[in-house]
């Protein structure tokens, strides 16, 4: 399925919104796409007339955004449910001896399917209908600047193809790519990523590293680029397994192979000795990631179809398009994860936990401490090692996506003696740890019997009055799940002292408190649990911000010198207010003041 066929299907299913108005690639187009992701019923957006007002440029290439949503996932995945895909994967991982003719035929079909996972090399592809090796200009592409404080324009849906120095391993990853000038872009592959491992092989050998970046084509290529496969396993195998054998062509100026039917290919070489500051960039955490040196791609060719489409995405505060991409990954990799953690029944990574910040696991516990054993196993498995907070429930728990009832189930079994605080690696984008790349891990065992409630519940107004008498910096308070054994109390305060000091003061009111979450006044609302989960799971390092005494304290505030925090704390990713108001006035977006406030858009 190339981009033309994809758009044709979208039109047939009434899933495409075509916007013909001339719109700026700087902020306007990405802000429209960002607002669209907040809707319950979303459309894929095709911007047919992108322009750059600052450069006085009108692009002939349309921009396609919000490709992944609840309505597009199934046909992107070859009209198969994830239950079907999971069953197929389990049949491969745990094959059964066929007992009759039908089972023998099914087994043969599966063997044929496995054969087709390997990409097939072909000589020609539509991605090379137009070849440019002279007068290369990255700015000729309608690349977006998404956020006001971004360091420049970034390609956000690039499929980055690399290979090891000896050519025995290949990798397809998805990394943001900053445009520096007409022939150079930044390669933001973090230290833990496979491409970075290859990069260090070339650096040690003193050789330049070939890189090709594809944009467009079948959306499944883009999803495959995000898949957490073991190092050296070609992510295009997934494409072949789900749909059909991928056909690939060799790049024009290097020996990297890319799918023949993508829309654009940017080819080049990376000199391991050439590094440049990349960023800032408003990333999927909902915060800006800070400026750091990263490798540079020197572009040797740009090839494309005669009538290409430019794919792009927006990352920032949830919910966003990555919610659906992450859900697909979560479902697809469940059986693979079970090979390392056989007592895992199911797991969920809520989008407002930014995936790696919170995982909910349903397990079949067999003995005391089993969930904590599984926590350590997860923290040692590939990209699961980036997970900061893991909560475990047993078979009797509600469905893991029934968040309201699941929270009650957890709180009715929560016991501070069943908390594990450890340390390990964290994602390079994590801003909360006291040092980069290493931070606290939290495991909570909520399996077992219901515990007794030991706190006295009073209403919010009465409790707020009591806590204000202890400290006048407190401005708001909200209690959640007061009908459980462990109610949660969110306290908002003007932060001029560490939350730990406030926690100590509150010991005078311990009879009313079980779990207290502290937030500051910067763009927080104690009545908005969805965004509070996003904020708090982003902002805590368990080794520093969890206080355990007669009750539990969680410091979800922004950190600074007040807390002894030495690193730079990044800003929230927010839309530019003037741009949002202008788009509303022109009726290009439809969003209420209440929705803007709820999703903390500006």
Question: In terms of domains, do 204 and 247 share one?
Answer: yes
484 has pLDDT over 80? yes
User: Do residues 535 and 557 lie in contact, with contact meaning Cβ atoms separated by under 8 Å?
Assistant: no
User: Quick one: 108 and 156 in the same domain?
Assistant: no
Closest C-alpha among 221, 225, 195 to residue 210: 195
pLDDT at 100: 74
State mean pLDDT over 341-360. Answer: 93
- For residue 24, what pLDDT is reported? 98
Query: What does the alpha-carbon distance between residue 438 and residue 555 come to, in Å, rounded to a whole number?
Result: 18
The reported pTM is: 0.93
Beta strands in 188-233 (DSSP E): 209-215
Do 177 and 295 belong together in one domain? Answer: yes
- Residue 197 scores a pLDDT above 70: yes
> Which of 40-54, 90-104, 363-377, 525-539 is the least confident region?
90-104
Segment 274-307, tens digit of pLDDT: 999 999 999 999 999 989 999 999 999 999 999 9
Same domain, 100 and 188: no
Cβ partners under 8 Å of residue 362, min gap 6 = 344, 345, 346, 347, 392, 393, 394, 395, 397, 400
In this predicted structure, what is the pLDDT of residue 92?
Answer: 66
Dist. CA 524–CA 598, nearest whole Å: 10
Pair 356, 388: CB distance under 8 Å:
yes
Which domain, by its residues, includes 100? 82-113
User: What's the start-to-end Cα distance of the chain, in Å?
Assistant: 37
Instruction: Record the tokens describing residue 585, joined without a space.
Output: 């006035």
Can you tell me the mean pLDDT for 388-416? 96
Which H/E stretch holds residue 160?
strand 159-163
Residue 476 φ then ψ, to 5° = -155, 160
Angle between helices 82-93 and 101-115 (to 10 degrees): 90
pLDDT digits (tens, 9 = 90+) for 131-140: 999 999 999 9
**Residue 93 confidence (pLDDT):** 58
Q: Does residue 254 form part of some domain?
A: yes
**Which residues make beta-bridge pairs with 292?**
278
Output the pLDDT for position 118: 86
Identify whether the C-beta of residue 171 lies closer than 8 Å to the C-beta of residue 194: yes
Q: Alpha-carbon distance 17 to 432, whole Å?
A: 38
Tell me what pLDDT residue 270 has.
Answer: 95
Whether residues 142 and 276 fall in one domain: yes
β 552-555/515-520 pair status: parallel
CATH code for position 420: 3.40.1670.10
Q: Residue 377 is encoded by which pair of tokens?
A: 């196993």
pLDDT value at position 173?
A: 92
| Count of structural domains within the chain | 4
Please state, for a pLDDT cut of 90, what percent of the chain lies above it. Answer: 80
Q: Minimal CA–CA distance to 321: which of 79, 187, 157?
A: 157
Residue 95 has pLDDT above 80, yes or no: no
CATH number of the domain enclosing 11: 2.30.110.10
Q: Which residues pair with 503 in a beta bridge?
A: none
Q: Which pLDDT value is given to residue 355?
A: 86
pLDDT confidence of residue 94: 61
| Vertex 310: Cα angle to 255 and 300 (nearest 5) | 30
CB 313 within 8 A of CB 65: yes
Looking at the domain assignment, is residue 220 inside a domain?
yes
Helices 28-36, 577-585: axis angle to 10 degrees equals 80
When pLDDT is averaged across residues 157-184 and rounded to a whole number, the result is 94
Q: Which of 133, 157, 122 is nearest to 263 (CA)?
A: 157
Taking alpha carbons only, the member of 237, 212, 214 closest to residue 162 is 212
pLDDT digit string, tens, across residues 27-69: 999 999 999 999 989 999 999 999 999 999 999 999 999 999 9
Confidence bin at 78 (pLDDT 50/70/90): confident
Q: Assess whether 199 and 297 both reside in one domain.
A: yes
Q: State yes or no: pLDDT of 104 exceeds 90.
A: no
Tell whether 195 and 104 lie within a shared domain.
no
Nearest to 446 by CA among 358, 363, 521, 523: 363
In sequence order, the 6+-apart residues with CB closer than 8 A to the CB of 462 are: none
Same domain, 179 and 155: yes
Cβ contacts of 546 within 8 Å, gap of 6 or more: 419, 421, 440, 442, 540, 552, 553, 554, 555
CA distance 369 to 327: 29
Looking at residue 113, its pLDDT comes to: 62
Local confidence band at 82 (pLDDT 50, 70, 90 cut-offs)? confident
Residues 242-270: pLDDT tens digits?
Answer: 888 899 999 999 999 999 999 999 999 99
**In this predicted model, what pLDDT tens digit does every residue of 440-469 receive, in sequence order?**
999 999 999 999 999 999 999 999 999 999
In tens, the pLDDT along 542-592 reads: 999 999 999 999 999 999 999 999 999 999 999 999 999 999 999 999 999
Residues 504 and 557 in one domain: yes
Q: For residue 87, what are the contacts with CB-CB under 8 A and spacing of at least 6?
A: none
Q: What is the pLDDT of residue 91?
A: 72
Whether residues 75 and 94 share a domain: the answer is no
Query: Is 579 contained in some domain?
Result: no
Distances (CA, A) of 186 to 217, 223, 290, 299, 584: 23, 21, 14, 11, 34
pLDDT confidence of residue 106 = 63
Distance CA 602, CA 591 (A): 12
Tell me: pLDDT of 109 over 70: no
Q: Mean pLDDT over residues 69-93, rounded?
A: 82
pLDDT above 80 (res 107)? no
pLDDT, tens digit, for every residue of 569-583?
Answer: 999 999 999 999 999
pLDDT at 496 over 80: yes
Flag whether pLDDT at 513 surpasses 90.
yes
| Residue 196: per-residue pLDDT | 86
Residue 533 counted as domain residue: yes
Structural domain contains residue 573: no
Cis ω before 77 (30° cut-off from 0): no
Averaged confidence pLDDT in the chain: 93
| Domain presence at residue 232 | yes
Q: How far apart are CA 214 and CA 263, in angstroms?
A: 7
* Mean pLDDT confidence for 511-523: 96
Q: Are 174 and 226 in contact (CB under 8 A)?
A: yes
Q: Are 141 and 223 within one domain?
A: yes
CA distances from 461 to 163, 353, 428, 512, 513 (A): 61, 29, 41, 13, 15
- Please tell me the distance from the alpha carbon of residue 475 to that of residue 240, in angstroms, as a whole number: 56
Q: Are residues 234 and 347 in the same domain?
A: no
Q: Point out the domain boundary residue: 277, 312, 347.
A: 312
Helices and strands (H, E) in the chain, number of each type: 18, 31
pLDDT of 577:
97
| pLDDT attached to residue 102 | 64
> Average pLDDT, stretch 215-239?
89
| Domain-embedded: residue 584 | no
What integer pLDDT is reported at residue 382 of this predicted model?
78
The answer to whether residue 598 sits within a structural domain is no
116 in Cβ contact with 245 (< 8 Å): yes
């Amino acid at each position: 399925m190339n981009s033309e066929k994809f758009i044709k299907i979208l039109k047939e299913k009434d899933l495409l919104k075509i916007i013909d108005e001339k719109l700026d690639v700087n902020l306007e187009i990405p802000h429209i796409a960002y607002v669209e992701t907040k809707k319950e019923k979303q459309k894929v957006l095709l911007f047919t007339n992108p322009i750059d007002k600052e450069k006085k440029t009108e692009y002939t290439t349309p921009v396609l955004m919000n490709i992944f949503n609840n309505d597009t996932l199934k046909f992107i995945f070859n009209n198969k449910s994830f239950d079907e895909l999971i069953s197929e994967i389990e049949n491969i991982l745990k094959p059964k001896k066929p007992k009759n003719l039908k089972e023998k035929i099914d087994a043969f079909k599966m063997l044929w399917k496995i054969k087709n996972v390997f990409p097939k090399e072909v000589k020609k592809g539509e991605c090379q209908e137009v070849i440019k090796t002279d007068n290369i200009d990255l700015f000729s592409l309608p690349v977006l600047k998404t956020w006001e404080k971004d360091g420049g324009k970034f390609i956000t849906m690039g499929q980055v193809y690399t290979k090891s120095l000896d050519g025995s391993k290949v990798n397809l990853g998805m990394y943001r790519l900053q445009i520096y000038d007409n022939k150079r872009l930044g390669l933001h592959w973090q230290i833990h990523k496979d491409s970075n491992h290859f990069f260090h092989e070339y650096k040690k050998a003193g050789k330049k590293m070939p890189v090709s970046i594809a944009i467009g084509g079948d959306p499944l290529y883009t999803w495959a680029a995000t898949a957490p496969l073991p190092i050296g396993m070609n992510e295009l195998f997934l494409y072949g397994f789900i749909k059909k054998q991928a056909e690939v062509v060799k790049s024009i100026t290097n020996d990297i192979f890319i799918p023949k039917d993508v829309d654009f290919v940017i080819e080049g070489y990376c000199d391991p000795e050439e590094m440049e500051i990349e960023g800032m960039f408003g990333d999927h955490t909902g915060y800006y990631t800070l400026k750091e040196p990263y490798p540079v791609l020197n572009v040797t060719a740009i090839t494309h179809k005669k009538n290409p489409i430019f794919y792009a995405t927006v990352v920032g505060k949830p919910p966003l398009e990555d919610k659906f991409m992450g859900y697909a990954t979560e479902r697809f990799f469940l059986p693979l994860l079970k090979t390392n953690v056989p007592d895992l029944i199911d797991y969920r990574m809520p989008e407002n936990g930014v995936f790696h910040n919170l995982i909910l696991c349903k397990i079949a516990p067999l003995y005391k401490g089993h969930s904590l054993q599984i926590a350590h196993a997860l923290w040692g498995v590939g990209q699961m090692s980036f997970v900061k907070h893991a909560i475990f429930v047993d078979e009797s728990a509600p469905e893991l996506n029934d968040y309201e009832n699941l929270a009650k189930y957890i709180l009715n079994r929560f016991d501070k003696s069943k908390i594990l605080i450890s340390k390990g690696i964290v994602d390079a984008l994590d801003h909360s740890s006291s040092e980069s790349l290493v931070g606290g891990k939290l495991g909570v065992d909520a399996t077992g019997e219901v515990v007794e409630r030991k706190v006295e519940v009073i209403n919010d107004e009465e409790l707020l009055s009591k806590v204000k008498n202890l400290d006048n910096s407190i401005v708001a308070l909200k209690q959640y799940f007061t009908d459980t054994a462990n109610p949660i109390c969110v306290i908002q305060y003007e932060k001029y002292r560490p939350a730990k000091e406030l926690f100590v003061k509150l010991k005078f009111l311990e009879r009313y408190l079980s779990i207290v979450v502290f937030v500051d006044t910067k763009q927080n609302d104690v009545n908005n649990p969805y965004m509070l989960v996003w904020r708090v799971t982003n902002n805590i390092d368990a080794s520093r911000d969890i206080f355990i005494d007669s009750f539990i304290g969680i410091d979800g505030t922004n950190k600074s010198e007040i807390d002894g925090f030495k690193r730079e704390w990044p800003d929230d990713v927010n839309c530019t207010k003037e741009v949002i108001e202008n788009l509303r006035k022109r009726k290009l977006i439809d969003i209420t003041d209440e929705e803007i406030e709820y999703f903390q858009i500006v």
